[in-house]
Amino acid sequence: MNHLHYGDNLAVLRNAIADASVDLVYLDPPFNSNASYNVLFKGPSGSESTAQIEAFDDTWHWTDAAEEAFGDVLRSGNGAAAEMLRAMRSFLGENDMMAYLAMMAVRLLELHRVLKPTGSLYLHCDPTASHYLKILLDAVFGPKSFRTEISWRRQSAHNDAAQGRKQPGNVRDIIFFYSKSNDWTWNWQYTDYDESYVEKHYRHIEAGTGRRYRLGDITAPGGADPKKRNPFYEFLGVKRYWRYSEERMKELFVEGRIIQTAPGRVPQYKRYLDEMKGVAIQNDWTDILPLHAAHAEKLDYPTQKPVALLERILSASSNPGDIVLDPFCGCGTTVHAAQKLGRNWIGIDVTHLAIGLIEKRLRDAFPDVAFTIHGVPQDIAGARDLANRGRTDKKYYFEFEKWALSLINAQPGNLGKRGADRGIDGNIYFGKTSRAIVSVKAGDNVGVSMIRDLVGTIQREKAEIGVFLTLTPPTKPMVAEAAAAGQYEEDGFAPVPRLQIVTIEEALQLRDRAVRLPARRDDTFKRAAREKDGKAQGQLDL
């Protein structure tokens, strides 16, 4: 049961996720930090391309949607959440922060609903709104359901003083941990001992094996009650009350676990470092490093979190086979960690960019992964439906365009303004410096003039190849005009058509193989490393 949903997570939660069906929720929503995050695509030289597409705008405003969300909370039946949100509005007014809180509150109510009684929720945020979010969580889950506030160091120290900042530098994120009841799933996690601790306490090294160990006391108090006190006997010439029976003590001595460092000294127990679990996790996480450009798992998504961070959360608060939900799944780190650890998962995101990236990431990391995608066209009928909606609603026009480009792994080539793309809807980079321009057409009235226009765009942009990606099959004159554009050749590779017509139906079947390139293409996003644990089984269900 693995499901990836495109759409507004509020609608998906209400329509597709049953009551008490989820074991663990992790959410990393936009932080309301007044930042606008753009995914910047890379050109063939590795530099940032001028082509970019906004992944999401981390800014909220008081609109009709915010008013509707506020009303939904008041009508929810959760009196504590309603009263708390009403009090916040009285204090804050109708501003961006209040809009953010109203949007979050109505979603938190749904997340509480879908959690099992043994389930937990982790909300990842920053200090911008964390104080308000904790109050909302207390209202929705109940203050007694608060477990802890985790601090994760998301970046190393930086010199804010040089920039004139008059407060400490902010290098941490906050993760709130709540449970739905007092009977929640929990598995202790452990971290390695500090090196200085090991050197001080495990200073002995066993000859022959090289194993580190420390010596521990095995004496015990006697006590006045003979039924309760520990056994007293002589062992290796030393009379004491001991922690173990005389028979067990002899067994441990034969096994080499009891040693006497000198005649007459009290025997001690040999405790090996490699048998210790480590330090039980606390709520200050500084050992999981943030992602930098050099990290192999970095996918160039602006808010990507390390897989190790999600592995710790999932390992602590879920078990293999449990269902994990991420309603703001972004580039898919949660579903990646869930797949790796043998959990079932549900991911939701509101951008085709994210859905396409997650699909690619999962196929790269787990080649045999099985999951179902909801809310995006899965066949030619679905593609036509999305295109038809785009004829009356501009939003769906751009959604069709972005979805179509994702099929062939092309970078979006405009900034979301119809008519401003100069004939360039997308780009595919290949070889060292080569480029293919993509033109997407969702209408029925395609003709030979569009092929001529694309030829002109190729010439103007000095591109090597043009791709005409069309929902409607081309006419014979279009095919002939495309053939007249000739072939493109690159040393060491077979020639390919300079202008290629690819139908959406072909792209659905062949994906990026639908475009013929003479050299290796550059991926729109970096390729996720293949996982080696082999836990993902089955076939991709589209």
Tell me, what CATH number does 410's domain have?
3.40.1350
pTM: 0.82
Look at residues 258, 275, 292 and tell me which one is the last residue of a structural domain.
275
Regions in the chain scoring below 70 on pLDDT? 31-59, 157-161, 300, 414-421, 521-526, 533-542
Domain count along the chain: 3
Same domain, residue pair 155 and 248: no
Same domain, residue pair 78 and 116: yes
Same domain, residue pair 127 and 154: yes
**Among candidate residues 215, 140, 218, 229, the one with its CA nearest the CA of residue 176:** 140
List the beta strands (DSSP E) in 207-360.
Answer: 212-217, 232-235, 238-241, 258-259, 268-272, 279-280, 284-285, 323-326, 344-349
Torsion angles phi and psi, residue 348, rounded to 5: -135, 135
Same domain, residue pair 364 and 431: no
Measured CA to CA, the distance from residue 381 to residue 401 in angstroms comes to: 16
Q: What is the pLDDT of residue 411?
A: 84
Same domain, residue pair 410 and 347: no
Q: What is the pLDDT of residue 421?
A: 57
Angle between helices 394-407 and 352-365 (to 10 degrees): 20
Same domain, residue pair 172 and 287: yes
Is 533 within the bounds of a domain?
no
Task: Read off the CATH number of the domain in which 50 is found.
Answer: 3.40.50.150
Same domain, residue pair 232 and 291: no
Is 454 within the bounds of a domain?
yes
What tokens were used for 302? 């602006």
| Cβ contacts of 262 within 8 Å, gap of 6 or more | none
Query: Residue 332, by phi and psi: left (phi above 0), alpha (psi -120 to 50) or beta?
Result: left
Find the farthest-apart pair of alpha carbons in the chain and give their distance in angstroms, rounded. Answer: 105
Is 538 within the bounds of a domain?
no
Q: What is the pLDDT of residue 14?
A: 97
Q: Coil, helix or strand for 89?
A: helix
Measured CA to CA, the distance from residue 30 to residue 303 in angstroms comes to: 9
Strands 172-179, 344-349: pairing kind: unpaired
Query: Residue 139, by phi and psi: left (phi above 0), alpha (psi -120 to 50) or beta?
Result: alpha
Same domain, residue pair 183 and 198: no
Is 519 within the bounds of a domain?
no
Same domain, residue pair 183 and 322: yes
Same domain, residue pair 397 and 307: no
Same domain, residue pair 340 and 464: no
Strands 204-205, 284-285: pairing kind: unpaired
Q: Residue 58 CB: number of other CB atoms within 10 A?
A: 18
Is 541 within the bounds of a domain?
no
Q: What is the pLDDT of residue 34?
A: 53
Look at residues 323, 341, 374 and tell me which one is the last residue of a structural domain.
374
Is 528 within the bounds of a domain?
no
- DSSP class of residue 527? P
Look at residues 340, 374, 408 and tell me which one is the last residue of a structural domain.
374
Is 520 within the bounds of a domain?
no
What tokens were used for 405? 């480009």
Angle between helices 352-365 and 333-340 (to 10 degrees): 30
Q: What is the pLDDT of residue 415?
A: 43
Q: What is the pLDDT of residue 112?
A: 98
Same domain, residue pair 167 and 293: yes
Q: What is the pLDDT of residue 56?
A: 52
Identity at 317, one-letter amino acid code: S
Is 521 within the bounds of a domain?
no
Domain, as residue range, for 257 = 193-275
Torsion angles phi and psi, residue 109, rounded to 5: -60, -40
Torsion angles phi and psi, residue 125, rounded to 5: -150, -175
